[in-house]
Amino acid sequence: QAQLVESGGGLVQAGGSLRLSCGAAARVGGPFLMGWFRQAPEMEREFVAAIDWSAGRTFYQDSVEGRFTISRHPGKRTMYLQMTNLKLEDSAVYYCAARSTPLRGGVRKESDYTHWGQGTQVTIAS
């Protein structure tokens, strides 16, 4: 059974919008932190955005700042990524990640997270 389940990916034209969702199963401890990473073909997985689950502080990669908004619904154990003004270079598989133990300070590395989703494809067409 999946512990993190993403949804909302798809095909959209450049300049369009998409909203990704990620639900965390109850057996995922915490969470204390949730985030989104993405991986384009032949590229390394990279940090996109994160949210401190209790305080709601948000963190973004520079290239998405101002275009993407990360948010959470604690009662539903669900995180969202609203993506607007999408660009061709945003095409990638987007992965949801969660940390089930208290934060140690970092939010941008894969090692800052303990659980991962299967990924959802986002394709931006010209």
Structure tokens at 122: 């986002």
In DSSP notation, 55-79 reads: T--EEE-TTTTTTEEEEEEGGGTEE
Residue 12: pLDDT over 90: yes
Q: For 41-48, what is the mean pLDDT? A: 97
Q: Which amino acid is at 85?
A: N
Three-state secondary-structure class, residue 24: strand
pLDDT digits (tens, 9 = 90+) for 68-126: 999 999 999 999 999 999 999 999 999 999 999 988 889 999 999 999 999 999 999 99
CB contact at 8 A, 54 and 72: no
What pLDDT does 1 receive? 65
> Average pLDDT over the chain, rounded to whole?
95
What pLDDT does 104 receive? 84
**Burial class (CB within 10 angstroms; exposed 0-12, middle 13-18, buried 19+) of 105:** exposed
CA torsion angle 73 79 85 88 (round to 10) = -170
- Which among 59, 50, 48, 120 has a CA at the least distance from the CA of 89? 48
Q: For 29-53, what is the mean pLDDT? A: 96
Handedness of CA 114, 26, 3, 89 (dihedral sign): negative
Structure tokens at 112: 């800052």
For residue 105, what is the DSSP state? Answer: S
What pLDDT does 44 receive? 97
